[in-house]
Amino acid sequence: MIPSEHLPDRRVVATAIGVTQLLGWGATFYLVGVLAPFIARDTGWTYASVVAGISVGLFVAGLVSPRVGRFISSHGGRSVLAIGALLIAAGLMLLGAARNYPIYLAAWAVIGAGMGAGLYDAAFSTLGNIYGTNARRLIAAITMIGGFAGTVCWPLSAYLVEQFGWRETCFAYAAMQIAVSLPLHLLVLPRGPRVATAQDGAPERPVHLQDGERVIFALLAVVVTIGSAFLSIVGTHLLPLLQARGLDLALAVTLGALVGPAQVGARMFEMLAGGHYHPSWTMLASATLLAVAAVMLFTGLPSVALAIALYGAGNGIGTVARGALPLAVFGADRYPVLMGQLALPILIAMAASPYLSGLAFECGGADWTFAILMVLGVGNVALAVTLRALIARRV
């Protein structure tokens, strides 16, 4: 247990973990959006087959996440996040060296283990384990920095792949994990667990949900899973979808880069104002913004930039709500374990979505993919309204 007086400075932790999240998401989830066409042309594999790699990675991440949550609850997150950076680096090295499809998929499986141990869910669990119910502002802060992953890494990946090739791009991102993310995790985070709740010294509750809590948890899992599937589809296919609508790669990257500032702006508002309202409102606002963006993209309204900005804002605060809402509803002592349980359906949905939507894209073009997004978005608003009502009844 870490004494209160020895807790690391929150500003340092937020900055360091924010940077590692930016690099982690840029080196994994956002990598395929730029590299997939280049990999397909170089290897002869189909676009859907290439995108299936990230699906494998996310599926493995979902499988390891419950164990990650339990480990963080008992031992803290420092070693877990450090191992995550090492696994991502090893997977990227293997990916860059892959000469056949089974090795390509095996590389993504290694990357996926690193994603489960090193991305948002593990980071949120680590912060909740260290700072308890005071972690909400830190969660918002690290997602503000991590929200620039697409803005920074899409242009960087586009430059690297055009200048050096997709294999060298993988090696470059692997080097960043070793040179930047690994030392930040080891130097900044404390050893061991400590839950610093307002009721320090109170006996721990078992990880058990009452009947009413189980309903809320199940509905929460559905809402965040649909929101994550939405993110997975857009994050993987946005650039090819925009190109299918007639935009060249440079303009598609420019428009895609709007996601980062929109995410960060929305997260900044949440960080400054979030203490004045329950995070269930944040979840509802996120679902609504995503639905509006999906309708705009499907109907082909002229302001693609506005639709992308709304998507970025909705996804931005949705990530914060995913971390803050379980903390507010279920408490800090059960938080790491429950976050690990939530991560399983989230990441499995994120695993299936790129491949299935890639098939839809190949069969029906951008219109089919945008239609899927619209159905997911509108349906999730209704579920988020129900979730808010159940939580309000309990509060």
Question: Does the pLDDT value for residue 386 go beyond 90?
Answer: yes
At 146 the pLDDT is 83
Question: Does the pLDDT value for residue 372 go beyond 80?
Answer: yes
In this prediction, residues 141-169 reach a mean pLDDT of 88
Task: Determine the straight-line distance between the first and last CA of the chain, rounded to whole angstroms.
Answer: 31
SS (H, E, C) the chain: CCCHHHCCCHHHHHHHHHHHHHHHHHHCCCHHHHHHHHHHHHHCCCHHHHHHHHHHHHHHHHHHHHHHHHHHHHHCCHHHHHHHHHHHHHHHHHHHHCCCHHHHHHHHHHHHHHHHHHCHHHHHHHHHHHHHHHHHHHHHHHHHHHCCHHHHHHHHHHHHHHHCCHHHHHHHHHHHHHHHHHHHHHHHCCCCCCCCCCCCCCCCCCCCCCHHHHHHHHHHHHHHHHHHHHHHHHHHHHHHHHHHCCCCHHHHHHHHCCHHHHHHHHHHHHHHHHHHCCHHHHHHHHHHHHHHHHHHHHHCCCCHHHHHHHHHHHHHHHHHHHHHHHHHHHCCCCHHHHHHHHHHHHHHHHHHHHHHHHHHHHHHHHHHHHHHHHHHHHHHHHHHHHHHHHHHHHC
Q: If we measure between CA atoms, which residue out of 173, 47, 166, 29 comes closest to residue 97?
A: 166
At 192 the pLDDT is 65
At 382 the pLDDT is 95
Question: Does the pLDDT value for residue 2 go beyond 60?
Answer: no
The pLDDT tens digits of the residues spanning 277-310 come to 888 899 999 999 999 998 888 887 668 888 889 9
Question: Does the pLDDT value for residue 205 go beyond 70?
Answer: no
At 204 the pLDDT is 44
Q: What domains does the chain contain, in order, with CATH numbers?
A: 7-194+211-394 (1.20.1250.20)
Between helix 279-299 and helix 304-330 the angle, nearest 10°, is 160
Question: Does the pLDDT value for residue 145 go beyond 90?
Answer: no
Percent of the chain with pLDDT over 70: 93
At 263 the pLDDT is 80
The pLDDT tens digits of the residues spanning 252-282 come to 888 887 887 888 888 888 877 877 888 889 9
Question: Does the pLDDT value for residue 34 go beyond 80?
Answer: yes
Least confident of 68-77, 196-205, 319-328: 196-205
Show the CA angle centred on residue 291, arms to residues 285 and 295, nearest 5°: 145
In this prediction, residues 93-101 reach a mean pLDDT of 95
Question: Does the pLDDT value for residue 27 go beyond 60?
Answer: yes
In this prediction, residues 182-205 reach a mean pLDDT of 65
In this prediction, residues 34-59 reach a mean pLDDT of 89
| Residue 344 vs residue 22, higher pLDDT | 22
Question: Does the pLDDT value for residue 198 go beyond 50?
Answer: no
| Residue 122 vs residue 111, higher pLDDT | 111
At 335 the pLDDT is 80
pLDDT band at residue 169 under the 50/70/90 scheme: very high
The pLDDT tens digits of the residues spanning 316-361 come to 888 888 888 888 888 877 787 888 888 888 878 877 887 788 788 8
At 186 the pLDDT is 92
pTM of the prediction?
0.76
